[in-house]
C-alpha cells in the first residue's frame, strides 16, 4: 500500500503536461480568478494570459502554478497570488512607453508581466541567489527590457529615476521616502504597508502637481521588506 502511494505520487508529479494544457489552465486562471473578480484592464489580462507562470516556479510546484494562491520559491519567499499580481498591475495603469521600478524581484513573474506591457523594467532583489535565478530566467525567456539589480531596494534606483510607476512586492513598515522622490509627476506607486507578520494594507501613492496622496486599497499578506546589513 505504501509503495503504491509512493508510485502514484511520483506519477502525478512527473506526469508530462504539455504546453497546450498549461495554456488552457492559464486561460481558466485569467477568466475565473482575475476577470470575474473585476480586473478588466486589457493590457494586464493579455499579459497574464501570455506569461507562463509554470516556468517561474520550481518543477515540483509546476502542477500548482495556475492555482489561486502564492507558492514558495525557496529562501523563505513566495511568488504572489496571480490575482494580486493582476490587481497591482492594473492599479498602476502601465502604458507601453512607461519605465517601471519593482522592489522584490522574487521569481521574476511580476517583472515579466510588467515587461509584456511597458518599455523598461528595473527590478531589485535583496537575496542575491533569487536575483540571479530570476535574472537568468528572464534572459532565457527573452525579456531583454528587464534589468535585475541585486541589492536593497529601500533607496530605489536613483540613476534610472524618475519612474512612471513603482511596484513594491514586500511588506514595508513605512513608505520609503526615496521611492516617493523617484516617482515621476503623475506617477503611481503600489506598496503593502504594515507589520510583516500581520495583515498589511495595500496602498496606492500618487504624485500630482508635486503633492503626494495615499489611499488604502485592501488587506494583503506579503513577505517582509528586509534591509541590507550594510546600512
Cis amide prior to 162 (ω within 30 degrees): yes
Among 66, 83, 87, 109, binds ligand SAH (CB under 6 A): 109
The window from 6-14, 41-49, 139-147, 219-227 that contacts ligand SAH (CB under 6 A) reads 219-227
DSSP per-residue string spanning 5-17: HHHHHHHHHH---
Question: Closer CB to ligand SAH, residue 43 or residue 105?
Answer: 105
Residue from the set 170, 183, 190, 191 that interacts with ligand SAH by CB under 6 A = 170
Nearer to ligand SAH by C-beta: 45 or 57? 57
Nearest of 76, 138, 30 to residue 123 by alpha carbon: 138
C-alpha cell at 197: 507578520
Smallest distance, ligand SAH to C-beta of residue 85, A: 6
Where in 71-90 is the site for ligand SAH (CB under 6 A)? 77-80
β-bridge partners, 224 = 171
To 10 degrees, what angle do helices 128-140 and 109-117 make?
40
Q: Which is nearer to ligand SAH, 102 or 164 (CB)?
A: 102
> Please, what is the minimum distance in Å from the beta carbon of residue 167 to ligand SAH?
8
**Residue 148 DSSP SS3:** strand
33, 43, 89, 110: residue in contact with ligand SAH (rule CB under 6 A): 110
161: helix, strand or coil: coil
Interface stretch with ligand SAH, choices 57-65, 98-106, 192-200, 212-220 (CB under 6 A): 98-106
Min separation Cβ 184 and ligand SAH, Å:
21
Q: In angstroms, rounded to a whole number, what is the distance separating the alpha carbons of residues 175 and 171?
A: 10
Q: Which one of residues 34, 114, 117, 127 is an interface residue with ligand SAH (CB under 6 A)?
A: 127
Q: Which of 14, 58, 72, 80 is catalytic?
A: 80
Cell numbers at residue 137, please? 530566467
Contacts of 208 (CB under 8 A, 6+ apart): 185, 186
How far is residue 71 from each of residues 19, 106, 181, 205, 222, measured CA to CA in Å?
Answer: 21, 11, 32, 27, 12
Element containing residue 53 per DSSP (H, E):
none
Tell me the per-residue interface mask from 131 to 160 with ligand SAH, x by CB under 6 A, - otherwise. Answer: ---------------------xxx------
**Interatomic CA distance for residues 78 and 70, integer angstroms:** 6
Catalytic residue status for 107: no
6-65 binders of ligand SAH (CB under 6 A): none
Residues within the interface to ligand SAH (CB under 6 A): 77-80, 103-104, 106-107, 109-110, 124-127, 130, 152-154, 169-170, 223, 225-227
Active-site residue list: 80
Amino acid at each position: 500500500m505504501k509503495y503504491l502511494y509512493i508510485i502514484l505520487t511520483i506519477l502525478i508529479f512527473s506526469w508530462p503536461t504539455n504546453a497546450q494544457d498549461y495554456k488552457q489552465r492559464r486561460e481558466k486562471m485569467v477568466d475565473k480568478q482575475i476577470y470575474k473578480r473585476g480586473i478588466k484592464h486589457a493590457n494586464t489580462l493579455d499579459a497574464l494570459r501570455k506569461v507562463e507562470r509554470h516556468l517561474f516556479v520550481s518543477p515540483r510546484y509546476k502542477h500548482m502554478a495556475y492555482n489561486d494562491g502564492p507558492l514558495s520559491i525557496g529562501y523563505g519567499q513566495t511568488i504572489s497570488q496571480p490575482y494580486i499580481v493582476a490587481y497591482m498591475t492594473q492599479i498602476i495603469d502601465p502604458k507601453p512607453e512607461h519605465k517601471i521600478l519593482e522592489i522584490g524581484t522574487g521569481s521574476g513573474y511580476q517583472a515579466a508581466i510588467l515587461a509584456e506591457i511597458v518599455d523598461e523594467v528595473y527590478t531589485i532583489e535583496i537575496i542575491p541567489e533569487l536575483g540571479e535565478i530570476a535574472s537568468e530566467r528572464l534572459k532565457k525567456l527573452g525579456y531583454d527590457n528587464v534589468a535585475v539589480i541585486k541589492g536593497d531596494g529601500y533607496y530605489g534606483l536613483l540613476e534610472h529615476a524618475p519612474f512612471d510607476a513603482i511596484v513594491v512586492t514586500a511588506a514595508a513598515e513605512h513608505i520609503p521616502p526615496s521611492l516617493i522622490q523617484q516617482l515621476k509627476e503623475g506617477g503611481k506607486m503600489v506598496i503593502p504597508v504594515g507589520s510583516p507578520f500581520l495583515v498589511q494594507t495595500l496602498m496606492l501613492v500618487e504624485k500630482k502637481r508635486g503633492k503626494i496622496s495615499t489611499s488604502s486599497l485592501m488587506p494583503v499578506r506579503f513577505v517582509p521588506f528586509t534591509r541590507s546589513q550594510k546600512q
